[in-house]
Chain A
Amino acid sequence: MRAERLKGHLDALLLAVLADGPRHGYGVIVALREGSGGRFDLPKGTIYPALHRLEQAGLVRGTWSGETGRQRRTYELTTDGLRQLRAERASWQEFSTGMMALLENRPCPTT
């Protein structure tokens, strides 16, 4: 899938892959690729600025760790991040329900 198409959803995707627990930057990249069955393979350089932006917004927390002998920055969801992820899921659910109803020409369930 084209990277430009994913960019608007990158924040939600990053929050989602961190929902299972803390990951370092490369772990986030791998989780995005594997979690989407290889469909979401963004330029890896775009992931780090996005993680830093989420950290600025208080949605993720980054800490340095050196467990494997190599210094890595590990990211985890904050309480606000978890709340934001729930809101993103609900919003996406509503969006996709409407889109699928229109694309498949079937009645849209009322909310």
Chain B
Amino acid sequence: MPHDVIETYLAELETRLPAALRNGSAVVAEVAGSLNDAVEDNITNGMSRAEAEHAAIEEFGSPAEVAGEFAPVAAAAQVHRYGLRFLVTGPLIGFLWLTTAALSSADGLLPTTELLLVVLTLVIVTAAGSAGFSVLATGHSAHWVPAKITSALGAVTITARCVVIGDLVLLTLLALHVTTAPGAVAALPATAATLASITRIALAVHGARSLRSTSLSLR
């Protein structure tokens, strides 16, 4: 079977490519094309097909080495995806909570509310800043914002943690308000905002776990 060596190589590469690399099969197809070109070149230079295939693979590097080189590429793509998700969902969920606040009565608000609002503001500013940095450092503007992939990864992890804290603060504020003045809360936007925040907490927790495993793969 003339192509066994190449096919075995490609199959191993596919299993070793980082899971965060969404276009893994496209990468394998690209590498396959390159190996075939190298094999043809080697045959033209006088090698037998078997020799040409072995030489092409030798020159390419082991699947583990190639997959390892793709780890930072996959990490950057993953950081970019999460950063964008947080940047897009932030204003949408913020709008739902602001609508809830605007349509609800302020009667019965506790003094602790002010402290929670200060915490919330700090969390939002930190989350937006770190998400913005992670997106800029991993996208098309990366050459303007030179940063190590580990820094971008750390930034988006901070965003994920801030998002969880921020949503928990908002849900706590709502719970306090509902408890002290049950009729003062606008039910419809409050329900929508609650569902959106719970969904985002789930996304952030999943994201933080996934980013942690990516971070370990870069070491």
A contact residues vs B (CB 8 Å cutoff):
24-26, 29, 43-46, 48-50, 52-53, 56-59, 70-73, 80, 84
Contacts and interface: CB of A to CB of B under 8 A. Distances in A.
A40 to B, nearest CB: 13
Count class of interface residues, chain B: 20 to 34
A51 to B, nearest CB: 9
29 contacts: A26-B37, A26-B38, A29-B34, A43-B60, A43-B65, A44-B60, A44-B61, A45-B61, A45-B66, A46-B65, A46-B66, A48-B34, A48-B66, A48-B69, A49-B72, A49-B73, A52-B27, A53-B73, A53-B76, A56-B73, A56-B76, A56-B80, A56-B142, A57-B143, A59-B143, A71-B29, A72-B30, A72-B33, A84-B143
A58 B143 contact: yes
B61 A26 contact: no
A52 B36 contact: no
A75 to B, nearest CB: 10
Interface string B55-95: 00001111001100110110011001000000000000000
Contacts of A71: 29, 33
A43 B34 contact: no
| Most chain B Cβ neighbours within 10 Å, of A45, A50, A70 | A45
Main SS at interface, chain A: helix
Given A43-B59, A56-B138, A48 B143 contact: no
Interface of B: 26-27, 29-31, 33-34, 36-38, 59-62, 65-66, 69-70, 72-73, 76-77, 80, 138-143
Given A26-B38, A48-B31, A53-B72, A58 B139 contact: yes
B143 A25 contact: no
A46 B80 CA distance: 22
A57 B142 contact: yes
Contact of A24 (B27, B33, B38, B60): B33
A10 to B, nearest CB: 11
| Most chain A Cβ neighbours within 10 Å, of B27, B61, B141 | B61
A57 B59 CA distance: 27
Contact of A45 (B33, B69, B143): B69
A65 B61 CA distance: 25
A49 B69 contact: yes
Nearest to A49: B69
A45 B60 contact: yes
Given A25-B34, A49-B69, A72-B30, 15 more contacts: A25-B30, A26-B33, A26-B37, A44-B38, A44-B59, A45-B60, A45-B66, A46-B66, A48-B31, A49-B72, A53-B73, A57-B139, A58-B139, A58-B140, A58-B143
A29 B30 CA distance: 13
B69 A25 contact: no
